[in-house]
Amino acid sequence: MFLLLFKESLLFAWQSLIANKLRSFLSLLGITIGIFAIILVFTIVDGLENNIRGSIQTLGNNVVYVQKWPWSFGADYPWWKYINRPIPKYYELDELQKRCKSTQAIAYRMGARKTIKYKSNSIQNAVIGGISHDFYKIKNFDLSAGRYFTQTETDAGYHVCLIGSAIAQGLFGSEDPIGKQIKISGYKATIIGTLKKEGESLLGVSFDYQVITPFNFARYFLDTKSENADPCIYCKAKPNITNAEMMDELTGLLRGIRKLKPLAEPNFALNETSLLSKGFDSLFEIIGMAGWIIGGFSILVGGFGIANIMFVSVRERTNLIGIQKSLGAKNLFILIQFLSESVLLSTVGGFFGLILTYIITVLGKDAIDMDISLSGTNVILGFTISILIGIISGFIPAYNASQLDPVEAIRSN
């Protein structure tokens, strides 16, 4: 019985929408813009969040970074406490490798932007990274051709390098770069491997745009005393060791290596990816609230538009309502009839808003080089909001229609 009632109500609602095309279009427009604004913001935020979290995951959940500056957020960041700290040194890597029991790998890296050349081709501001041998055990990168450094090449500082896919394309095009020599600040380096395409990274520079060399070779053209080279010691915990346990050991060892007094504050930072995740969580919450506010105003306008149209629709069909009630139509039937019209109007508007969002994401995906797609969760959210707005906006007009006296309603015209 209820399904039959609901079906008849939808049929009445659809006929009403078709009969008043301009009025329906204007109502749809407000809801469409509102749903489009909210869902587009949420879709972009989801894409941004997925890309950032993906970039954070590449840093490793079980990796701790020994650096000068802590990864902190907020207006009260006490930068003056950290500015005079020393940068991590390569000799500290050797000491940690000898003493630390909780790590399965420790590596060092520093880098700078340099111009690299091959014959008449050159790339300016390419990132040159000087690494210790175990760096590959901590940072995941795959080779598309060639090989990694040998221990001897790393220790002796052989003039060899690995290049990213964008570097290979820029210098060599379709030519095979393996075995070719490039110039880095006047020093020749033989390419022994190329890295697989990684894609854009929202945290740091992608390996696609980097040249990787043994640290003992990079000493020739990198300023090892410069903070601008972003020196860092990477520590990866053993499988059964937590980051907290590894950080406790690293703290004690580094205090000893740097000869800090027992009550002296540490002059180093131990950073982990959870710090970045927490900072971005608050950022995404703010962006999400902004999306609700922006789209909320549009939906509010659309909701008022639907309510207004429903009041007009009730007034125009008062005589019909009286006839329906005199023939035995119950109050519930009249209520559902007009409420269905409101919900249908709002849902159709939400549908067009979602279609518009999908088109924008498809067209914009390549333009911003970021993986953005309309998720099933956001589709459900869009329809849920549309239905709720339809119910809220249409309830009062529908209730008023259901309470009309049939005699008075028939006499209204």
* Core vs surface per residue 16-31: b (16+ CB within 10 A) or e: bbeebeebbeebbbbb
Q: In whole angstroms, what is the distance from residue 224 CA to residue 211 CA?
A: 17
Q: Which pLDDT belongs to residue 179? A: 92
Q: In whole angstroms, what is the distance from residue 131 CA to residue 179 CA?
A: 20
Residue 300 β-bridge partners: none
Q: Which residue, chain included where needed, has tokens 């790339």?
A: 123
Q: Which pLDDT belongs to residue 96? A: 92
Whether residue 324 contacts residue 334, with contact meaning beta carbons closer than 8 Å, is answered with: yes
Q: In whole angstroms, what is the distance from residue 358 CA to residue 355 CA?
A: 5
Rounded to two decimals, the pTM is 0.63
Taking phi over 0 as left and psi of -120 to 50 as alpha, with beta for the rest, 194 belongs to beta
Q: Which pLDDT belongs to residue 365? A: 66
Q: Name residues whose C-beta falls within 8 Å of residue 121's C-beta, 6 or more positions apart in sequence.
A: 170, 171, 172
Q: Which pLDDT belongs to residue 1? A: 47
Q: Which pLDDT belongs to residue 132? A: 93
Task: Count the residues in the chain.
Answer: 413
Residues of the chain with pLDDT under 70: 1-28, 30, 52-61, 73-77, 200-205, 274-280, 291, 295, 298, 364-371, 407, 409, 411-413
Q: In whole angstroms, what is the distance from residue 338 CA to residue 329 CA?
A: 13
Q: Name residues whose C-beta falls within 8 Å of residue 75's C-beta, 6 or more positions apart in sequence.
A: none
Q: Which residue, chain included where needed, has tokens 């111009």?
A: 115
Q: In whole angstroms, what is the distance from residue 354 CA to residue 374 CA?
A: 8
CB atoms under 10 Å from CB of 210, counted, come to 23
Q: Which pLDDT belongs to residue 251? A: 92
